[in-house]
Structure 1
Amino acid sequence: MFQFLHAADLHLDSPLTGLARYEGLPADEIRNASRLALDRLVNCAVERGVRFVILAGDIYDGSWRDAATGLYFASRMARLRQAGILVYLIQGNHDAESVMAKSIRLPENVHVFSGRRAGSAEVPDVAAVVHGRSFATRATETNLAVQYPARVEGRFNIGVLHTSLSGFEGHDSYAPCSLDDLASKGYDYWALGHVHNGQILSRAPYVVYPGNLQGRNIRETGPKGAYLVTVDDGLRVEDCGFVALGSFQWRRLDVDLSGCASVKEMHARWEDAFRELRSAEPDDSPLIVRVRLTGATALQAMLQGQTDWKLDLRALATDVGAEQLWLEKIELDLAPVSAPLDLTGPMSELTEAIQRAASDPEIAAKADLQPLLQKLPDDVRGEVAEWLRTDGPRYRRLLEEVESMLLTRLAGQGGAQ
């Protein structure tokens, strides 16, 4: 019996943008998170006494040129060497354009597969053989799996491949192939990389994406880590279990404010939602959360027209989370509570003006908002522009929210004076 660890997509020191905009977010800890995750991987390998570690590509992050990143990776590999643990590594699409992947010398316990052709490496003192091929160029769009060597009989055969398979949403189509292509090789385990969502796609043979080692943004939510694989004396997978190694997790949280009529009640709902989220994490790992407030509430105008309440929400998150829960962003998806309003006189004129803007795009076209849009950060500008597209689905909804807020304020309702 023997064990090995399968990880991928470390993206060491991947630059994270936009963090400074979110008050209270531990930006320095986030920037070091990929290194901490690698440390945890190495510690896990040593503590479990695995025979080898497989890294299925994207060790680095593209053209990131800080040599300290490469030296740090080499030092972690050296620690595995001291523990007698081998490493089998392929270079993924990001590594193919990385200066460090080409220039940093790695310890002799690390076997890096060639990018010219697929090759095989027998594991010393273990009945296992590893097959793999690195990316020679970033845009590798050919089916590499069909070029892999034949199965070696009497050995536990592992294929290491950086691939999008037949296509995963949000991932570039690199080294595309099918599950049938993989199964046809007769290997016992396919150690894949590239897709950042960890999952076991098949158990006959095992086809596994470990996901990335550490989530880097709100699109990469939940636990991140590697798979610990146990192979029995009959050269069959006895166990294939996920091991969480990320130093923190990204989470999304919806808080329903439907029917909420007071600030006190709103605070109570926030607190309940935070405590439920926190209690669902058995390991007390730090969480960075994007909150979305939903539902029809009399507080809608106040929440959209003021900002002070956001400080209360951040303070509550810090309190409930014992400084292990931070808010990355707060989104509003609220609707007003229908209430009879006196729509005579000026109120009627206001309603008619907004309805004309909703039905006549030429009215909106007269307002040149480009100078204002250019002042917004890059990652916000596109979203705001989408809301202001008069032919888009969000424009009418935006006007409805503006109408509700103005009418509520003018009527002195919803907590707004």
Structure 2
Amino acid sequence: MKFIHFADAHLDSPFRGLSFLPSKTFKQIYQAADESLTKIIDLALDEQVDLVLIAGDTFDNNKPSPRSQLFFAREIKRLTDAKIQVVMIFGNHDHMNLDDLLVTPSPYFKLLGASEKVESASFETKNGFSYVVNGFSYLNNHIVDDKLTAFPAKGDSYTFGLMHAQEKTTQASQNVYAPFDVNEMKDLDYDYFALGHIHLRQSLSKDPWIVYPGNIQGRHINEMGPKGCYLGQIDEQTGQTAITFKETGPIVWQEISVELNSSVTKTDLQTKILGNLSDINQTTYFSVHLVGAQYLDGDERELVQDKDFWQSISANLNFNSQLVDVRFESNNRLELDPNDQTSFEKAKSEVFSQPNFMKISKDWLRKDPLAEKLVSDPRFQNEVKELAEVKLSSRLKGINDETEEN
């Protein structure tokens, strides 16, 4: 028996922060998830799989556009017309009613647990191999209950678990996506637990299999690397399962570090960045980290933060690849005398304490309600810290240079 497991297609995802891209390029990334899904369906047909498991968040919200609904329905019909069984659940993003899904009714399409209750469905392949899929769908965007307790015991048939969920954490406020304990999931002894929700591809267990396939297309720089689905093959005699990752995402996000050890001209800086972006074999969206950014003066920092500069770099890249993000990082090589270094480190720890950061952000939060989510994001806090440190280091370097000249 062969099967495909994918999750988190997030059709209709807005891809925020990329509106500066040329319209043709922006259209390319907007359609990237669609293209990835089509490749997954192509793979299922080419491999003549018996089953496709869809582990939630197919759509980016619970009221998807007619365009994405009709597109998804057409792709699923390609599978059901080929008599490939599709078993799907809704996740926290696309928590919908079954009646709102435009998929053509078919005995080869099954939405599990539409009432947010664990449901079991039994199937048989063309060769007579029996298997069961147990799972549930979201009706609301949060599920705080541990749903594993409602999953039935494994019977004689090969058994899949299908769940859109995350591991339990020590912070109760984060346990709102059907939180589960890995050991308890392993105790169910299902042959393969197909998970969704976490966009990082990973296997939590190999015996038995507990697998996140990741999302099918990275949407921003924090979703780096190849994206796609898993192709599974089951030995029908032994029940042993082997899985292989199949890349289908047309665009890859990649982070590149460019290290500066001394001051550079604008031309040299551009050449250095381009030199680090030359090894490309598919469409890639780059985030460049300028390590040692304290060596840049104000004009140079302004240049590399300008989106027109990014586009001038992108024009020289293959496969319509793009530079879409530049971040600054100090490599702490600035030499200060011991007293100044001690004061610098003390000031840094005080200024960037959590209470001070929130205090500094207070006025901004009053003016912009959307800023609250951004300010509480540790990644944003770290970016602000790095930029402030780079600017301060650069200024101290200038003072140092003047002192040495005198």
Q: Determine the structure 2 residue equivalent to 1:119.
A: 119
- 1:370-385 to 2 correspondence within 5 Å? 382=375
User: What is residue 135 of structure 1 aligned with on the other side?
Assistant: 138
1:4-403 equivalence runs, <5 A: 4-21=3-20, 26-96=25-95, 98=96, 102-108=100-106, 109-116=108-115, 117-125=117-125, 126-153=129-156, 155-167=157-169, 173-259=176-262, 261-263=264-266, 265-276=268-279, 278=280, 284-295=281-292, 298-306=295-303, 311=308, 314-319=311-316, 321-334=317-330, 382=375, 397=389, 400-401=392-393, 403=395
In the alignment, residue 139 of structure 1 is paired with which amino acid?
H
- The 1:168–1:195 alpha-carbon spacing in structure 2 relative to 1, beyond 3 Å, is farther
CA gap 1:35/1:185 in 2 versus in 1, 3 angstroms: same
Displacement of 1:40: 0.9
- Give the distance between the partners of 1:76 and 1:184, measured in 2 at CA: 36
Does the residue aligned with 2:27 lie in a helix, a strand or coil?
Answer: helix
Aligned partner of residue 20 in structure 1, secondary structure: coil
Q: Which amino acid letter does the alignment assign opposite residue 158 of structure 1?
A: F
Question: Following the alignment from structure 1 to structure 2, what is the Cα–Cα distance between the partners of residues 127 and 192?
Answer: 21
Alpha-carbon distance, 1:68 to partner: 2.3
Deviation for aligned residue 1:217: 1.5
TM-superposition CA deviations, 1:392-414 (whole Å, max 9, x none): 96797366257358769999x9x
Partner AA of 1:124 in structure 2: E
Summarize deviations over 1:245-300 as a string: whole Å, max 9, x none.
11201121111112354455434432331124x2xxxxx33111111111166544
1:323, CA displacement in angstroms?
4.0
Whether the aligned pair in 2 keeps the contact of 1:77 and 1:107 (CA below 8 Å) is: no
Aligned-pair CA distance for 1:13: 1.1
Unaligned runs of 5+ in 2: 337-346, 352-359
Change in Cα spacing, 1:41 to 1:143, as seen in structure 2 (3 Å) is same
Could you tell me which runs of 5 or more consecutive residues in structure 1 were left unpaired when the two chains were aligned.
279-283, 341-354, 360-366
Distance 1:212 1:368 in 2: 33
Q: Residue 330 of structure 2 contacts residue 386 of structure 2 at CA under 8 Å; is this kept in 1?
A: no
**Contact 1:145/1:182, CA 8 A, preserved across alignment:** yes
Question: Identity across aligned pairs (percent)?
Answer: 24
- The answer as to whether partners of 1:303 and 1:309 remain within 8 angstroms in 2 is no
Q: 1:395 to 1:251 in 2, by over 3 A?
A: closer
TM-score normalised per structure 2: 0.78
Which secondary structure does the structure 2 equivalent of 1:291 belong to? strand
Let me know the Cα RMSD of the aligned residues: 4.0
Shift of 1:173: 3.4
**Matched-pair contact (CA < 8 Å) for 1:258–1:297:** no
Deviations 1:40-80 (A, max 9, x none): 11011011111110001111122444222212111111011
Q: Distance in 2 between matches of 1:122 and 1:244?
A: 29
In the TM superposition, what whole-angstrom CA distance separates every residue of 1:299-334 from its partner, at most 9, and x where no partner exists?
A: 444412546987566434432x32431011222235
Give the structure-1-normalised TM-score.
Answer: 0.76
- Aligned to 1:15, the other structure's residue is in SS state coil
Q: Is the 8 A contact 2:313 2:323 kept in 1?
A: no
Amino acid corresponding to residue 119 of structure 1 in structure 2: E
**Matches of 1:22 and 1:70, distance apart in 2:** 26
Deviations 1:93-123 (CA, angstroms, capped at 9, x unpaired): 1222x46873424331211112332222222
Q: CA offsets, 1:162-199, max 9 Å, x none?
A: 11022499976311111122122221110011111111
**Number of equivalent positions:** 375
Relative to 1, partners in 2 of residues 1:407 and 1:226: Cα closer, same or farther, differing over 3 Å? same
Distance 1:94 1:222 in 2: 23
